[in-house]
Chains A and B, each alone.
Chain A
């Protein structure tokens, strides 16, 4: 069973602070996705990273895929109350019986206070 360890589980910060969420595994993933979910809604895809060492930026969010494709991080600069939500990382393996399936991290509940 592949495990994707996500940390921290909870994060409560003030508006304007920076934060980083980590996802780590001993398994290699062909791609890794980050999702954000608000109460009452389904997870919304933020980014997919595929190449080891890849860095993608989405406004104040920076995503990085580890060189060995076993870990990833999400960094938010100058957090805003609108960033509040549940953040999920999910890794995919290509081929075999796991094709197309995602392994999800435990999630990080982020609360940004005004």
Chain B
């Protein structure tokens, strides 16, 4: 298993600004992912954070809006750029482990409100 922490846990931001969310894993993992979730709803994958190379984005998400860094096997950041109220959401990072199934462990999430 993996223990994941995220910072900040919540934030209130003004439109047009940017916020960087940090994700730290307590062990080296091959795969890290970033998701977005509306309260009470399912998760939408934003991108796969690749160590040492550019992130792989899902349809509907672009690097200019959600730049991602992954400098090593335990750390990643997601920036929400030029924010609008529509970006208000919960942002979650996860770490993927293989072995018995492709299991992902999730951080506690960052609750973002854009005014």
Contact = CB atoms under 8 A, between A and B. Distances in A.
Interface in A75-114: 86, 88, 90, 92, 94, 99-102, 104-107, 109
Interface stretch (B13-21, B38-46, B70-78, B80-88): B38-46
A42 B106 contact: yes
Given A41-B108, A100-B31, A100-B96, A30 B102 contact: yes
Nearest to A97: B56
Nearest to A105: B42
Contacts of B89: none
B48 A101 contact: yes
A50 interface: yes
Range of interface residues on chain A?
A: 20 to 34
Contacts of A92: 101-102
Interface residues of B, number: 26
Q: Which of A42, A45, A88, A101 has the most CB of B within 10 A?
A: A42
Contact of A31 (B33, B101, B106): B101
Given A33-B101, A42-B107, A49-B101, 8 more contacts: A39-B39, A50-B100, A88-B42, A92-B101, A99-B102, A104-B42, A105-B42, A107-B41
Interface of B: 1, 4, 30-31, 33, 39-43, 45, 48, 92, 96, 98, 100-109, 111
Interface of A: 30-33, 35, 39-45, 48-50, 86, 88, 90, 92, 94, 99-102, 104-107, 109
